[in-house]
Structure 1
Amino acid sequence: MSAESDTQSAVGIENAIGWPLGSALGGAIGALAFGLLMWVYDPDTVSAAIPGIYGLDPVGVVGWGIHIVHGILLGLLFGLLVTRNVFLGVIMTSPETGALSRTGLTLRLIGAGFVFGLAIWAILPLLVLPVWIEAIGTGTATEFPTTAIESMLGHVIFGSVLGLVFALVTDLRSRSPETPLEG
């Protein structure tokens, strides 16, 4: 058995339930949780503003579909990042402090998802979205609540749910951070 297949087996890449599936599923469920928060706060954000950022008319469930696809893509990015040695080593390290050493991998991945959600909120709606809206010049998307507390809370919920689902679906416990992922 090669070192690459040992590594793939350790992170669940070769199994039916590997990190890509855990990431995509976590992203979809996280986006659904975030979408429900937006739906309660302002249903037009999901149905009109999200399609509006692509210049689309608010038709049916288009906004929900786009939002779930965003979640899946961001979930895959999260999975790709947390399975890389540099991040996985930090997540799986055994810290000297008593409180941190008692946390399990699931709680650490939820924390990583929380931080990922904050980073996504800081980068996408705060930096990228205003530039994107200006570039395409759609009026519907200008009502997007980028800096609202609901947006930040939604991204944190997204990331935390993503981290939880990822931890439950993907088995990283047997993964040694010293084992390289790339061949």
Structure 2
Amino acid sequence: MSETATQTETGTDARLAEWQAGVIGGVLGGVVMAVLYSAFQPSFLTDAVPGIYGLDGAGGIVGWTLHVSHAAVLGVVFAFAFDAVEGAEWRLPNTTAVSVVLALTVWAFAALLVDQVGIWNTGVAPAPASFDVTLLGFVTHLAYGLVVGVTAALLR
């Protein structure tokens, strides 16, 4: 009589889908950015972000919520952009490089166009001053990119 052994894999190496890793990385990166803005330029979250949506005077909770929501969406954009890179593997150096480039591109676009239009429309600050055309804006977006890239690599 012959016996056949079957091997069953029961590992717990569950990985998230790309977009899920992007959302979580985006939220964590957005929180890091919001903490930095709250510490060094709170008016960005209390006035400028809500003001872009016509919610003048809504305050910090609204600003935080909107900012972290944007960050989550951009985390998904990162996941799709990363998947579009031919042959890219979800490893730490790769995800971090792509997420930092994307974050700094968003910073340049937001600082030079979106913030300007939003601020001019809301009167939060005198034009052409922008809350984000600063070293702080650069640093916060760089931090966002690093957090997204590291998180995505760890979750994938």
TM-score with structure 2 length normalisation? 0.81
Partners of 1:53 and 1:141 within 8 A in 2: no
Q: Which residue of 1 aligns with 2:131?
A: 145
Q: Which residue of 2 aligns with 1:69?
A: 69
CA distance, structure 2, for counterparts of residue 52 and residue 141 of structure 1: 10
Q: Which residue of 1 aligns with 2:82?
A: 82
Q: How does 1:23-102 map to 2 (within 5 A)?
A: 23-60=22-59, 61-84=61-84, 87-89=85-87, 91-92=88-89
Deviation at 1:48, TM superposition (A): 1.5
Deviation at 1:128, TM superposition (A): 2.7
CA distance, structure 1, for counterparts of residue 131 and residue 119 of structure 2: 12
Q: Percent of aligned pairs with the same residue?
A: 29
Task: Give structure 1 regions of 4+ aligned residues with deviation exceeding 2 angstroms.
Answer: 57-60, 131-134, 141-144
Q: Which residue of 2 aligns with 1:22?
A: 21
Structure with more contact order per residue of length (Cα contacts < 8 Å, sep ≥ 6): 1
Deviation at 1:107, TM superposition (A): 2.0
Which one-letter code corresponds to 1:155 in the other structure? Answer: H
Q: Which has the larger radius of gyration?
A: 2
Q: Which residue of 2 aligns with 1:156?
A: 142
Instruction: Tell which deviates more after alignment, 15-24 or 26-35.
Output: 15-24
| Deviations, residues 72-118 of structure 1 (Å, cap 9, x unaligned) | 1111100011012xx142x44xxxxxxxxxxx921221121111111
Partners of 2:48 and 2:119 within 8 A in 1: no
CA distance, structure 2, for counterparts of residue 45 and residue 24 of structure 1: 23
| Deviations, residues 2-35 of structure 1 (Å, cap 9, x unaligned) | xxxxxxxxxxxxx872111100000000010011
Q: Does 1:130 align with 2:129?
A: no
TM-score with structure 1 length normalisation? 0.70
Aligned residues: CA RMSD: 2.0
CA distance, structure 1, for counterparts of residue 138 and residue 69 of structure 2: 19
Partners of 1:45 and 1:144 within 8 A in 2: no
CA distance, structure 1, for counterparts of residue 40 and residue 110 of structure 2: 20
SS of aligned partner of 2:122: coil
Instruction: Tell which deviates more after alignment, 51-60 or 139-148.
Output: 139-148
Partners of 2:116 and 2:130 within 8 A in 1: no
| Deviations, residues 110-158 of structure 1 (Å, cap 9, x unaligned) | 1211111111111122123223444xx2112656412111001111111
